[in-house]
Amino acid sequence: MKVYINGRMVDEKNAKISVFDHGLLYGDGVFEGIRVYHKKVFTLQRHIDRLYRSAKAIALEIAMTPDAMSKAVVRTCKQNGITNGYVRLIVTRGVGTLGLNPYLCKQSQVIIIAGGIQLYPVELYEEGLSIITVGTMRNHPEAINPRIKSLNYLNNVLAKIEALNSGAMECVMLNPQGYVAEASGDNIFVVQGDRLRTPPVWCGALEGITRAVVMELAQDMGYTVKEDVLTRYDLYTADEVFLTGTAAEIIGVGVIDKRPIGAGRPGPVTLQLAERFKAYTREEGTLIE
Ligand code: PXG
């Protein structure tokens, strides 16, 4: 595998960065996870836009243009012969000193890794996930805004630990007001009849790209889609609940806090949307050539 580091393609074993990089020392940086389907980089422009928004939000100047970044992603995929895979795009604050001051970091570092991804076991897409709500609340927006896809994922890691320690693979995170925010690495939707609802980003959700695509596809399919404040009541009483994310795509939730959701397995709307999403991965994308 060849890894892109600051404009150079380096061999996997030489793909190293400084221990003084503030990405490592402080989780000071931003990232994206992007899928490649059928030799096309899926929703590349949306990921690049979000990356630059995240960087702007933490006052991180990326030393290359968005257009050059897109080209670098495609080039890294090409070099590695990726047909279906996963790209991790990372921008760190760069090499600095042992001290918080980000202004002492000379230049941001850009790292692009193109490889594979492990999804949930395939049977879970038919059976549905069993998840729990956790006590670890989503970051307060005025602490670290959840809209920023930063390298500091401790909030999510702590939530994931809580879930895993209770035998659940994913969790529902609530925001400081007790409203539903999202899962540790996915957005959440509830289905009631022909209505889809998902928490607005101010409730502590990342502006997920899969979330946006699903909202658009669902609307085209005739569903009513609304961003809405949700509580656990809305989850427990929903016909269906599903999660969306780059890695998970669309996965139905069968059980939350040991309570069956609807029939206790992925419902027809979830399965229909998953089918439509899969078709869309053939339609959309930036060709790797
Ligand atoms: N919320 C959070 C907190 C995320 O980290 C999503 C929602 C879904 O967003 P997208 O844009 O992917 O639809 C994410 C994305 C991983 C992994 O390794 C996690 C994500 C993406 C790729 C890989 O667990 N999270």
The β-bridge partners of 197 are: 190, 226
| Cβ of 262 below 6 Å from ligand 1 | no
pTM: 0.97
Using the predicted structure, report yes or no on whether residue 55 has a pLDDT greater than 90.
Answer: yes
Can you identify the CATH homologous superfamily of domain 122-283? Answer: D-amino Acid Aminotransferase, subunit A, domain 2 (3.20.10.10)
Other beta carbons within 10 angstroms of residue 13's beta carbon come to 8
* pLDDT for 167: 97
| Of 2, 13, 56, 149, catalytic | 149
- 2-115 is a CATH 3.30.470.10 domain: yes
CB 223 within 8 A of CB 272: no
Question: Cα(8) to centroid of ligand 1, in Å?
Answer: 27
* pLDDT for 15: 97
Distance separating the N- and C-terminal Cα atoms of the chain = 18
Confidence of residue 57 (pLDDT cuts 50, 70, 90): very high
Judged on CB neighbours under 10 Å (0-12, 13-18, 19+), 217 is middle
Is 149 annotated as catalytic? Answer: yes
* Averaged pLDDT, 141-156: 97
- In this structure, the residue with its CA closest to atom 25 of ligand 1 is 185
Other beta carbons within 10 angstroms of residue 11's beta carbon come to 9
* pLDDT for 251: 98
Question: Cα(104) to centroid of ligand 1, in Å?
Answer: 30
Using the predicted structure, report yes or no on whether residue 191 has a pLDDT greater than 90.
Answer: yes
Closest C-alpha among 9, 12, 77, 8 to residue 42: 77
**89-130 pLDDT, tens per residue?**
999 999 999 999 999 999 999 999 999 987 789 999 999 999
Question: Quick check: helix, strand or coil at residue 86?
Answer: strand
Q: Where are the domains of the chain?
A: 2-115, 122-283
The answer to whether 2-115 and 122-283 have equal CATH topology is: no
- Look at the block and give the residue holding tokens 């059928």: 38
What are the structure tokens assigned to 216, written together? Answer: 């658009």
CA distance 270 to 268: 5
Average pLDDT value over all residues in the chain = 97
Using the predicted structure, report yes or no on whether residue 174 has a pLDDT greater than 90.
Answer: yes
One-letter amino acid for residue 166 of the chain? S
* pLDDT for 114: 97
* pLDDT for 184: 98
**216-253 pLDDT, tens per residue?**
999 999 999 999 999 999 999 999 999 999 999 999 99
What are the structure tokens assigned to 56, written together? Answer: 């702007």
